[in-house]
Chains A and B, each alone.
Chain A
Amino acid sequence: MDNIAGKKSGLSWAVNITVVLLVLLWLLPTVGLLVSSFRDRDQISNSGWWTAPLAVELNFRARFSSEGEVLQGDTYVMEGNVFDDPENAARFPDGSGTLSAYGTRGVAPAEFAPGVTAEQRGGGSLLVEENGSFRAESPESFGRRGQTIYFQAMTPPQFTTANYTTVMQSDGMDRAFINTLTVTIPATVIPILIAAFAAYALAWMEFPGRALLIAAVVGLLVVPLQLALVPLLKLHTQLGIGQSFVGIWLAHTGFGLPLAIYLLRNYMVGLPRDIIESAKVDGATDFQIFTKIILPLSFPALASFAIFQFLWTWNDLLVAKVFLPSGAASQVMTVKIADDLLGSRGGDWGILATAAFISIAVPLVVFFTMQRYLVRGLLAGSVK
Chain B
Amino acid sequence: MPHQSAVTVLATVPPARVDDVREVLNEAGRRGAGEVFRFAEVAGVHFARLLLVPGGPDGTGEMQPPCVVYMSEVDVPVAVHLADLVRSAGDELDKVFAYCDGYPADGASEGERVAWLRSHHVPCAAFYVHTVGRGRQQILNEARLREAIEEFLDRHRAELSGESPARVRAAVQEYVTGRQDLAWARSRPALPALRWRIRRAAHLVGVPLAGLALLPLLVIALPVWAVLVRRHERRDVPSRARPGRDHVRELASREDFGAQNPFTAVGAVKPGRFRRITLTAILFVVDYGVRHFFHRGNLAGVKTIHFARWLFIDGKRRVIFASNYDGSLESYMDDFIDKVAWGLNAVFSNGLGYPRTRWLVRGGAKDELAFKHYLRSHQLPNQVWYSAYDTLTTDNVRTNARVRAGLFGTLSPAGTEAWLALL
A-B interaction: no
